[in-house]
Amino acid sequence: MRESAKNALCKIQKLTEEACRKCVTSEPYRCCSSEFCLAVEAGMNAVGKEIPKTSHPSLQYMGKTGCVVPAEFRPGCSGYACQGALESDRKFRREYVRLHEKFQDDETLNKMLAASNNFLKNIFGFIKK
């Protein structure tokens, strides 16, 4: 993965984390789900990366203080913001789009995303946007 893509993903993870912290409707990590953890695992498998699972009862990568997968190995999670977050803050949206553009064409990243999306499509019949 390009260093610039990795940096952009780390930045977008911090950006989205900050937005989610302000989410008035949610409990922490409400947008995590077991199938997304499995999709992240499929993505990592595609590039030969392995992260030990935690003992969380349903989210296999949820540790005591948050997700244990580095931002660059869970692009579908770290680069995700819901419509509500995107629509509520123009500055946030601008930065979000700018950072997304920095990693969109990264080969390793796209390999992971393709494997994750295939997993979701095959198992659950939908693709995470």
**Where along the sequence are the contacts to ligand SF4 (CB under 6 A)?**
19-20, 23, 26, 30-33, 36-37, 40, 59, 61-62, 67, 69, 74, 77, 81-82, 84-85
Closest to ligand SF4 by CB, 8 vs 67, is: 67
Closest to ligand SF4 by CB, 42 vs 85, is: 85
Query: C-beta of 123: minimal distance to ligand SF4 in Å?
Result: 15
Query: C-beta of 82: minimal distance to ligand SF4 in Å?
Result: 3
Closest to ligand SF4 by CB, 66 vs 107, is: 66
Tell me which residue of 125, 109, 121, 124 sits closest to 44, measured CA to CA.
109
Query: C-beta of 121: minimal distance to ligand SF4 in Å?
Result: 17
Query: C-beta of 79: minimal distance to ligand SF4 in Å?
Result: 11
